[in-house]
Amino acid sequence: MDVRTFLKEHTLIFDGAMGSYLMTKYHRPADGCETTNLEAPEQVKAVHQAYLASGCNAIKTNTFGLPRMAAAGNPLWEALTDEGWRLAA
């Protein structure tokens, strides 16, 4: 469904803070939650599913810190981005 059509009759409710959720529930390091996309994708999927179960209807990717990684020349940023998109889809 086109998002403009959806918004005519519904409120778009996004998920919450992925990094905070991963740090709290799975004890992921604050500076590396995005690496969970490759290291523990089942944890990322579980967080997405929990947000959907709580009533959100829009999922964001677990890619918040990746621009910083790309700027620093971290070679993993592209793979982490691809996996973040795949998991959110």
In angstroms, what CA-CA distances link 68 with 21, 48, 50, 64?
Answer: 20, 23, 27, 9
Q: Is the pTM of this model over 0.85?
A: yes
Q: In the block, which residue shows the tokens 């890619």?
A: 63
Q: What's the pLDDT at 75?
A: 94
20-66 pLDDT tens trace: 999 999 999 888 899 999 999 999 999 999 999 999 999 999 999 99
Kindly report the number of other CB atoms within 10 A of residue 7's CB atom: 10
Residue 77: strand, helix, or coil: helix
Query: Following CA atoms 37, 60, 3, 10 in sequence, which dihedral angle do they give, to the nearest 10 degrees?
Result: 130
41 alpha carbon, distance to own chain's centre: 10
